[in-house]
Homo-oligomer: A and B are copies of this chain.
Amino acid sequence: MSYMIGIDLGGTNIVCGLVNEQYELLEKVKRPTDAAQGVEQVISKMAEMIEELVNRSGIKRSELVAVGAGIPGFIDPERGICLFSANLKWQDVEVAELLSVKVGVPVFIDNDVRMYVYGEAMSGAARGSEVVQGVTIGTGLASATVTRGELFYGSRFMAGELGHVAVEGETERCGCGLTGCLETVVSATGIVRQAKQALEVGRSSTLRDVYERGELTAAHVSAAYDEGDELAVQIMDYTGQVLGRGLAYSISLFSPDVIVIGGGGALAGERLFRSVRETLKRTVYHGYLENLTICQGELIDDGGVIGSAAFAKNRLGKSALQVNV
């Protein structure tokens, strides 16, 4: 048997999982990243976690054929380099080479959002679909596209920044340098910001108590939506409209079969999707919508690990030039 290990390398935690050829997650370990200790420490920790997983699962060491790792930031998957990661404070780190030397099997890396979407496409909510558009909604928003089992990269591996298109009429500064980016609205952060700004100017809402205690989260807005709170409904509707307007372009340009929504924001589910679907009916040629499914991801927590393992399996044996742009 052959096995892969997938790694979800986050700013807070490293999650490593052992995955079989059917993309089933068999074992999982989790450790704090402690990125401040430096690149060498983080790489060593990943190598230790890999050996621990192999030992614990009882597979033969020779049955581990490849390792994949999803990393937040700009990644060059062809050369296996993390070009820049704000979360890890990494620049030009040769992750694939450094880790591969330690564990003795090929290591493949990519951006964490791509890995998650790849997981949903190969083994999650979108398995069996030819063209998959994935969007993760968390503290920010990003997207990736998988066609017939291959990720779409674009020039310089930069395709997919749907979160950083400026939205008409929006005025919030974004960390990327622009004003009014889609993710300043469509993200957990964006939903909370909208609520705070409305409460600050005196809007009445059941959210006021939790806001004044300084504890307001997107989950509170979802809960208030369920109780029919007018402000919460308005925020969710508007957030869905902005996402829908962005997806309208994505659908017309990519013609996906499935749009999978992942990340913590996916938990909003139909509260958000209802408004997205209404917006799409008004903004997208109906021929696209006939065969399009919009759904929550299935692998919310494990998508990054499973996707990284599946990606490693896919890349194994391919020459660098076979990586699609």
Number of identical monomers bound together in the oligomeric complex: 2
A325: B residues at CB distance < 8 A? 130-131, 147-148
Would A154 and B291 be within 8 Å (CB), given that A148-B324, A179-B282, A285-B161 are in contact?
no
Q: Which residue of B lies closest to A281 (CB)?
A: B178
What bracket does the count of chain A residues touching chain B fall in?
35 or more
In the bound complex, CA of A145 to CA of B166 (Å): 22
A143: B residues at CB distance < 8 A? 253
A318: B residues at CB distance < 8 A? none
Identify the stretch in A20-28, A230-238, A241-249 within 8 Å (CB) of chain B at 4 or more residues: A241-249
* A254 near B324: Cβ-Cβ < 8 Å: no
In the bound complex, CA of A143 to CA of B245 (Å): 18
In the bound complex, CA of A113 to CA of B156 (Å): 26
**Interface hits, A110-134 → B, CB 8 Å:** 130-131
* A155 near B256: Cβ-Cβ < 8 Å: yes
Q: Does A76 contact B (CB under 8 A)?
A: no
* B287 near A158: Cβ-Cβ < 8 Å: yes
**Interface hits, A271-325 → B, CB 8 Å:** 282-288, 291, 324-325
Cβ distance A79 to chain B, nearest Cβ, rounded Å = 16
A8: B residues at CB distance < 8 A? none
* A161 near B324: Cβ-Cβ < 8 Å: no
Q: Which 4 A-B pairs rank lowest in CB-CB distance, beginning with the nearest?
A: A154-B255, A249-B249, A166-B283, A158-B255
